[in-house]
Amino acid sequence: MRINSTVALTLILLVLMVGAGVISAVYGYSLGREALKGVKQPDVRPATVGENAPETTQTKEFEIVPESQILEDVNTQMNRSSVPPSPGSAIA
């Protein structure tokens, strides 16, 4: 039985592509494994961190700033000449 040259070429290309995929996968896996060697998984789950912690944290309540105050701050900032912004200002 004679093998068609088109079928043979197709099978050769298919084998080469599968081989290239396997080589690429192995190389990518080893590269990723090497990159993550120094990384450790956390000891606790993030979902359970706050359950046993004492409730001593103080949360600041959300405060809505009036638009007039924002516009005033922007105008003041724009009218300044080469004065560095204060640490608490919103414009950096």
Helix (H, G, I), strand (E, B) or coil at 49: coil
Q: What is the pTM of this model?
A: 0.43
User: Domain-by-domain residue ranges, the chain?
Assistant: 1-35
DSSP string, 60-90: PPP-PPPHHHHHHHHHHHHH--SPPPPTT-S
**pLDDT tens, position by position, 58-85:** 777 888 999 999 999 999 999 886 656 6
Distances (CA, A) of 72 to 41, 47, 68, 78, 82: 48, 42, 6, 10, 18
